[in-house]
Amino acid sequence: MDGVEVDLGSLSCADVRPILQGETKQEQEERILRAVEFLVQGLFTLPEQSSERKSQRELPEPFSVIPRAKPIPKEKPLTKWEQFARIRGIRKRKRDKFAWDETRGEFRPIHGYRSINDESDQVILPHDPSLQPGESPFDRVKEGKRNRVKNNRKSQERNKRSIAKDQLSSRPVRTDKYKSKDLEKSAKIASISTRSLGKYGDRNKPRQKLSSIKASHKKNIIPSGAERERTFQAVNDVLKNF
């Protein structure tokens, strides 16, 4: 229709022709009616969603550009476990928080304080043959818990640090400071690496520590003059045949 623009996505229509000075109220109302009718009929012609709900329509994407209220959220960097889970295809399952405790006859949390299998709450523990004489099994349980908490805190810190490192690396960094050190390290790794990543190597050989390896790349470096000579020699050999 001439002069009427309709945007079904934002449920709006516009009669873009200017309102002239001599236009009566009735003429204006007719224009409004025409534009609104056009929009409503457009909405009725949208495809039906399902036969059950005949009046339901899905709106198309709007043409009108409306500014956002808040900036687009940034994606959170993955933690080490999340990265691993993605590679392995491990999905997060929702588990119940509470379970029925038959001995106590009530619902109790599965993990944490006052939980069903609270280790510190046990009166009798199964015999552990690895216990030293005189060592308390209850103390060992407590210590195990303490260690797990400590390790968890450690991995949290590590995740935080790696996120910070990622964000730092996007900034310009003076690379010349780190270059030689990194080269040294990769040369060390390369000197003990095999092509099959150790798959067909000697499995009984103990794993070497990086600090114990001495860099051997220095003796392989050829002075630039010699390399130039060698290249010319090769080129001459090839060209001789032509």
Cβ distance to another protein smaller for residue 177 or 205: 177
The gap from C-alpha 113 to its chain's centroid, in whole angstroms, comes to 31
CB of 19 to another protein, least distance (A): 5
Smallest distance from the beta carbon of 200 to another protein, in angstroms? 19
Which CB atom, from 84 or from 138, has the smaller least distance to another protein? 84
| Nearest residue (CB) to another protein, 163 versus 192 | 163
CB nearer another protein, residue 36 or residue 213 = 36
CA pair distance 29, 13, nearest whole angstrom? 14
Which residue do the tokens 């020699």 mark? Answer: 233
Q: Are strands 12-15 and 98-101 parallel, antiparallel or unpaired?
A: unpaired
Q: Please, which residue, 20 or 124, has the CB nearer to another protein?
A: 20
Residues in the chain: 242
Residue 134 token pair: 């005189």
Q: Give the nearest distance from C-beta 54 to another protein in angstroms.
A: 8
| Tokens 């390399």 sit on residue | 227
CB of 177 to another protein, least distance (A): 18
What's the closest the beta carbon of residue 45 comes to another protein, in angstroms?
A: 7
Tokens standing for 172?
A: 């310009």
Rounded Cα distance, 108 and 223, in Å: 74
| Spatial separation of the C-alpha atoms in residues 157 and 111, rounded to whole Å | 23
Residues engaged in binding another protein (CB under 8 A)? 10-21, 28-29, 31-33, 35-37, 39-41, 43-45, 49, 53, 55-59, 62, 64-74, 86-89, 160-161, 163-164, 167-168
